[in-house]
Amino acid sequence: MIRFLDMLPETVFETDTELNLVFVNKRAFEQFGYKPEDLKAGLNGIEMVPEFERDRVAKCVERIMAGEKMGLLEFTGLRKDGSVFPMLIEANRIEQGGRVEGIRGFAIDISERKREQEQLCEQKERAEQSSQELQQANETLKSTYKKLIETSREAGMAEVATDVLHNVGNVLNSVNVSANLITEKVKHSEIPNLERLAEMIEDHSDDLTEFLTSDERGKHIPLYIIETSRQLSKERNEIMDKLVSLARNIEHIKQIVKMQQTYAKVSGVETAASLAELVDDAIAINQAGLIRHAIDLHTDYQYTDEIMVDKQKVLQILVNLIGNAKYALSAGRAEHRELTVRIHKAQQDEKVLIEVIDNGIGIRSENMTRIFQHGFTTKKHGHGFGLHSGAIAAREMGGKLKARSDGPDRGAKFTLELPLKLSPVQAVS
């Protein structure tokens, strides 16, 4: 009988009426960190719970000694080394010839179950938080859309507004995918099965040992708990990956919106600006599409000094040029899609050049004289005023917008020429 009890996965114990331990199985020593000689030296059960639990334990012992059936109770266990852990205990009094001689019961360490419950609760909270952030992002998008349209009408930035919204929409698609995957993971989690398992164990609290060792359903419980723990750990890692991706995409949306709002405030005013920073901002607005179409981006900033420009107009032109290059690359036949943006100073004239070069679909020779005309487009859903308005904006700044292509599937290069107007600080120095 003792050998059988040593094989059980839970602690089995017996005490006298003063709670002095008279018998424990092998699992008890492993679970509480004691040795057989500790038991021989005298060990009281009250010493195996922390002080804050001892009054509660004493009251429960009184009720058990009085013959009351307490069922499964959750207590905090105290190991010999002072560490604590959660456990379930069921105990009943020992009677012999009508006389109460002590208490017999068992204890189960539920630390792993508690950890899994906490992790699942954290996952649920994060999923709910992500859902709330997604709703807030959608509301921000709606609000931003109205502001962008108003700003575009007033400042001639309709092209930037359209591209900003298009790229924000691309990022939101990724956000929605991540949120849906998280929701599906939570819906199909093993939590309901664990709850049913807990109910089954509770239903057999009076004969749990026999149920776990003899009943066919009970025999499968330990293995099921092990497998479920592995599955929940895998689900947790997958959900964490999606949460990180979701948070990164939401932050990208915030940056794009903030960037556009910043440029809207300086419409029609020449200020000292770094063209490299303007190019970086235009790339950031188009970033989601560039990544989605697997475009290899190169930047070559040979000129980095600040010049006096209308930042909003330059951004309008660059966003359109990079967006057009993205379309040309996605529609082209090149196996390796490459986009290069270069900034350099003209060799002869006092001009700064920003070149946007792609190896995409190219431009037919008969279209080279028409691409800057209002309403002309080769895009399926194009409106035909992006390059036209860009050319006008370049002229208004004293510059020029030019295009070059060697023909279909030979790529294209668009060049924005800007007059080299040094900032007042640079001019004085």
Domain at 62, CATH number: 3.30.450.20
Question: Helix or strand or coil: residue 366?
Answer: helix
73-82, 193-202, 276-285: which range is least confident on average?
Answer: 193-202
pLDDT for the residue numbered 400: 92
pLDDT for the residue numbered 187: 72
405: pLDDT confidence band, cut at 50, 70 and 90? very high
Residues 6 or more apart whose CB falls under 8 angstroms from that of 47 comprise 78
246 in the same domain as 369:
no
349 in the same domain as 310:
yes
For 155-192, the pLDDT digits (tens) are 445 555 555 665 566 666 666 766 777 777 777 776 77
Q: Which residues make beta-bridge pairs with 235?
A: none
Q: Supply 72's token pair.
A: 């499964």
pLDDT for the residue numbered 284: 83
For 94-133, the pLDDT digits (tens) are 988 889 999 998 899 988 888 888 888 888 888 788 778 8
251 in the same domain as 170:
yes
163 in the same domain as 68:
no
User: What is the helix (H) or strand (E) element at residue 357, kind and residue range?
Assistant: strand 351-358
Residue 344 half-sphere exposure toward CB, CA atoms < 13 A: 12
pLDDT for the residue numbered 256: 62
Q: Mean per-residue pLDDT for 16-35?
A: 89
pLDDT value at 230 more than 50: yes
Distance CA 405, CA 390 (A): 18
387: left (phi over 0), alpha (psi -120 to 50) or beta: alpha
β 351-358/338-345 pair status? antiparallel
pLDDT for the residue numbered 54: 93
- Last residue within a domain, chosen from 109, 138, 161: 109
97: left (phi over 0), alpha (psi -120 to 50) or beta: left
pLDDT for the residue numbered 382: 55
Query: What is the residue whose two structure tokens read 């609000």?
Result: 143
pLDDT for the residue numbered 428: 45
CB 329 within 8 A of CB 360: yes
306 in the same domain as 158:
no
Most confident range (mean pLDDT) of 103-107, 246-250, 280-284 is 103-107
Q: Which residues make beta-bridge pairs with 342?
A: 300, 355
Please, what is the average pLDDT of the chain?
81
CB 316 within 8 A of CB 389: yes
Higher-scoring residue by pLDDT: 308, 179: 308
Query: What is the residue whose two structure tokens read 């359209």?
Result: 162
Higher-scoring residue by pLDDT: 251, 26: 26
pLDDT for the residue numbered 166: 57
Q: Mean per-residue pLDDT for 201-207?
A: 78
346 in the same domain as 387:
yes
89 in the same domain as 147:
no
131 in the same domain as 204:
yes
pLDDT for the residue numbered 156: 42
367: pLDDT confidence band, cut at 50, 70 and 90? confident
pLDDT value at 351 more than 80: yes
pLDDT for the residue numbered 154: 46
Residues 6 or more apart whose CB falls under 8 angstroms from that of 347 comprise none
pLDDT for the residue numbered 174: 64
278 in the same domain as 249:
no
Provide the percentage of residues in the chain whose pLDDT is more than 90: 26
204: containing domain: 113-263
pLDDT value at 418 more than 90: yes
103 in the same domain as 117:
no
**Contacts of 386-392 spanning 24+ positions with Cβ under 8 A:** 386/159, 386/320, 386/323, 386/324, 387/320, 387/324, 389/156, 389/158, 389/159, 389/316, 389/320, 390/159, 390/316, 390/317, 390/320, 390/321
Q: State how far the alpha carbon of 207 is from the alpha carbons of 22, 91, 202, 279, in Å.
A: 22, 11, 10, 73
Q: Mean per-residue pLDDT for 349-365?
A: 92
User: What is the helix (H) or strand (E) element at residue 211, kind and residue range?
Assistant: helix 208-214
CATH code: domain of residue 294: 3.30.565.10
- Last residue within a domain, chosen from 61, 90, 109: 109
Higher-scoring residue by pLDDT: 289, 66: 66
Number of structural domains in the chain: 3
pLDDT for the residue numbered 149: 46
pLDDT for the residue numbered 145: 56
Q: What angle do CA 316, 254, 414 make, to 5 degrees?
A: 25
415 in the same domain as 296:
yes
Instruction: Pick the closest to residue 308 from 401, 159, 426 (CA basis).
Output: 426
Distance CA 168, CA 171 (A): 5
DSSP string, 368-380: TTTTTSTT---ST
Q: For the whole model, what pTM was predicted?
A: 0.45
pLDDT value at 398 more than 50: yes
273 in the same domain as 413:
yes
For 71-91, the pLDDT digits (tens) are 889 999 999 999 999 999 999
Higher-scoring residue by pLDDT: 318, 187: 318
- Last residue within a domain, chosen from 230, 263, 296: 263
Residues 6 or more apart whose CB falls under 8 angstroms from that of 346 comprise 352, 353, 417
- Can you list the alpha helix ranges (DSSP code H) found in 33-157? 36-40, 51-65, 111-155
